[in-house]
Structure 1
């Protein structure tokens, strides 16, 4: 073995450490004397050794059926000509992800954002942008700086002021930039609010049934209690204030303290839109019981008949007429760049406006935002571009209006086509979507007529809508989500699908599948 005079080379050794045992990177020498451990290695963590709230949380839109769909997609990719499936592509109708389904990005957003990402484009010869694109990018760079740097934890002040101006114009009542929090999509805002309000395991959250699974998942992660209130399917998915008031009384007896009432408007997964009277009565409940109203309004651009009405506007009108009754109402309104005609899910832009919260409580939300440092700054910029688009007379205006109208009108046509298809299917009932991106049809499969289907479900430990959606995927490549992933009245079965996929061929395939499914499971002798 090569021995070295370490003192001569300037090395100092600790007492009792043999010279031979060291590996010196700089000298690239390895000792011939090695140490071998004899301990028994410990097992890795099992599912029982981790936070059980994370185990219990479920998220149906990326649940078991979408996971199967991903596996089939990989099979098609790996064996494009020899996969053995009766289809050649997966139709991802399980999630509202517009650009995954070929919705084109709006030129206005991408042009401004490209300059923000690479400001040198302003000086590049041969690259021509409309003047209003360059001016907006310059204004953002001047007021915000590089989007590669952290912003204020609440969001850059320049962007928050744009959001406040947008809300003021939309509702006709003032909004304050200090009440605006820019978030990485609306999902982060939901996480902040539920984390904030989950005081202990007795904290309850009123959520609509059916609901978007983000809410039950977030509530589970915070060890709180979801309290479902059923939407009225027979009346375009409206609310029932009497039922909600009764739930409040019942939960008090159970020791559950309701902290918030969640409303999704336009609805996900239902596509329904609440009437103004529904909104008034929900605000009354929150005012009377001192609970927070969480208004998830991310689909406010997806309204097919009439105009969107915000909870902020309705509350402001009620405050104006009866300030002594509504001055303490706490409202958190959410919006996002992921939906509407924007469809920029991957950019993760969103905002939350807080109204009526005490400063000390807002400070805690600010602390949560600070722990995350800030939301994605390019996403913040996207929010500004959404709420402050080109105006009439601007160079980009005509193109922006043309692109947004085309997207909105196309969604409306797709919604109507899918609604018509479901209306023609046997043993299915469906409400025409008023907004959002989804249809939530009801599967009217009765046990006495579809006893083979019910036996199949029982033997497979599945629910009826699970069986339908799994077989739909296996036979057509169409991936949607069973209604049980969103909640539904006991004894009823639904599914949720988007109407984002382009074309009509996939809808015709669905109709053919449904006809075969009914013939396979329905006992025609009882008809």
Structure 2
């Protein structure tokens, strides 16, 4: 009897799966883990510990959780705490109100009614307060975080029966999640460059050029915009958003607005404008014709609850029968209830006069003030160094400075099968223990090289990291020039 052919092998996988790249850091992640292990085993290094400055995980870098949110989550998880005098009355009242809407009063139930009906109504009221425009709760779907929402929505626009593959336009730079999601959906990535010379702003001419070139190989359907920007820290102006809306109407693209950092706006003069708000204020024909999908999440913003997983999607001018299919698809993966009730705190926080209001506002302002100070320090320290140029960050939790890399280093990187900025980050890791993300993971204009620096470490630690980056870059330039 001959052995049966194995059905699940690397060769049996679809191109949509095999084309997915390694995670954000790739080889850097592997080496950082090795270095950490070597340090634990007593190896002698030029540094005593790794300094992580690459990931957008606020709580992992020391940010304190929102007190009110955690109180409500604790009370809902263990209702016996309602008898405790430790918790303020508004947290208890919030928890009781949530539990009345849960099946059996328990976060341990599936609770489809809470996530598909009760919570969308509260999210809709939040959107109306934010935008000053109506929001139908039936157009809101709760998800288990922004990533799940992005995967679900982009999958809806792909029709494999069409002669040309679906094209999905994403910025360069952008969150590295998008190319992999697009590949998994069987679609084609269409990059458009942000304007680094104008602070990483949207540039309609760049979008048009990319769109024109892409139509030779695919059918572009979706224009994705991340605002505030990951990894750029850009908060887009109202004028820039209007220009993109007009362009989408002109060339018939669905707009996908990734707005997960909307709470993280701290730059002087910067203000968050949702695409929904601008679209409605522009009025007909745009407000009636443009199809818009927007996402928000508790993982980012001032809460930074990356572990609880909760988000929502709003659909504007979308045929209800389309996102009814999404409801069916999502019925296989119900949202996490703890993440969902944390999302409720995001959209319905303590109000003036409530016992928890003062603490809530103070904690929120502390997060934003710290981000503003760290963004200022990052720009100031990095721009002192010859060969580094750093645009100001106005929002989100990152900065994306450009670094100069000598020809000799670029040739060495090529010989090792690395991008030049990845090679730089590897050398930085070995010499200083600092872990950064290379700009090539995010997309960048040809001939430019960047690094993503997270603004999350405490001020003193981040200051030391930035100074070491400057010092190392100087020695790197001398070594390879």
Give the shorter-chain TM-score range. over 0.9
Partner of 2:30: 67
Residues 96-134 of structure 1 show CA distances to partners (whole Å, capped at 9, x for unaligned) of 1000000011110111000111112223xx542100000
- Please state how far the C-alpha of 1:364 moved relative to its aligned partner: 1.6
Partner of 2:236: 274
For residue 346 of structure 1, give the secondary structure of its aligned residue in structure 2. coil
For residue 371 of structure 1, the aligned residue among 326, 332, 348 is: 332
For residue 382 of structure 1, give the secondary structure of its aligned residue in structure 2. helix
Residue 148 of structure 2 corresponds to residue 188 of structure 1? yes
Partner of 1:438: 398
Partner of 2:387: 427
Query: For the structure 1 residues 487 and 153, does the alpha-carbon distance in structure 2 shift closer, same or farther, using more than 3 Å as the test?
Result: farther
For residue 500 of structure 1, the aligned residue among 456, 477, 480 is: 456
Query: For the structure 1 residues 154 and 493, does the alpha-carbon distance in structure 2 shift closer, same or farther, using more than 3 Å as the test?
Result: farther
- Alignment partners' CA distance in 1, 2:277 and 2:205: 24
For residue 449 of structure 2, give the secondary structure of its aligned residue in structure 1. coil
- Please state how far the C-alpha of 1:193 moved relative to its aligned partner: 1.2
For residue 58 of structure 1, give the secondary structure of its aligned residue in structure 2. coil
- Please state how far the C-alpha of 1:59 moved relative to its aligned partner: 5.4
Contact kept, 8 Å, 1:452 with 1:522, in 2: the verdict is no
Residues 352-405 of structure 1 show CA distances to partners (whole Å, capped at 9, x for unaligned) of 111110012111211221122x11111110110011111111011111111111
Report 1:285-434 matches (<5 A): 285-304=247-266, 305=268, 306-319=270-283, 323-372=284-333, 374-434=334-394
- Please state how far the C-alpha of 1:414 moved relative to its aligned partner: 1.3
Partner of 1:142: 100
- Please state how far the C-alpha of 1:275 moved relative to its aligned partner: 1.5
Query: For the structure 1 residues 111 and 289, does the alpha-carbon distance in structure 2 shift closer, same or farther, using more than 3 Å as the test?
Result: same
Report 1:506-517 matches (<5 A): 506-517=462-473
TM-score (norm 1): 0.85
For residue 205 of structure 1, the aligned residue among 145, 156, 168 is: 168
Contact kept, 8 Å, 2:224 with 2:255, in 1: the verdict is yes
Comparing 89-98 with 202-211, which one deviates more in the overlay?
89-98
- Alignment partners' CA distance in 1, 2:364 and 2:356: 12
Residue 219 of structure 2 corresponds to residue 257 of structure 1? yes
- Please state how far the C-alpha of 1:44 moved relative to its aligned partner: 8.9
- Alignment partners' CA distance in 1, 2:153 and 2:400: 27
- Alignment partners' CA distance in 2, 1:227 and 1:288: 18
For residue 308 of structure 1, give the secondary structure of its aligned residue in structure 2. coil
Alignment gaps of 5+ in structure 2: none
For residue 24 of structure 2, give the secondary structure of its aligned residue in structure 1. helix
Query: For the structure 1 residues 41 and 369, does the alpha-carbon distance in structure 2 shift closer, same or farther, using more than 3 Å as the test?
Result: closer
Aligned residues: 474
Partner of 2:208: 245
Alignment gaps of 5+ in structure 1: 1-37
Comparing 145-154 with 270-279, which one deviates more in the overlay?
145-154
- Give the aligned CA root-mean-square deviation in angstroms: 2.1
Partner of 1:474: 430
Contact kept, 8 Å, 1:154 with 1:366, in 2: the verdict is no
Comparing 456-465 with 67-76, which one deviates more in the overlay?
67-76
Query: For the structure 1 residues 109 and 364, does the alpha-carbon distance in structure 2 shift closer, same or farther, using more than 3 Å as the test?
Result: same
Contact kept, 8 Å, 2:428 with 2:472, in 1: the verdict is no
Report 1:214-229 matches (<5 A): 214-229=177-192
- Alignment partners' CA distance in 1, 2:159 and 2:5: 36
- Please state how far the C-alpha of 1:222 moved relative to its aligned partner: 1.4
- Alignment partners' CA distance in 2, 1:513 and 1:162: 45
Residues 312-344 of structure 1 show CA distances to partners (whole Å, capped at 9, x for unaligned) of 10001112xxx2344121111111101111010
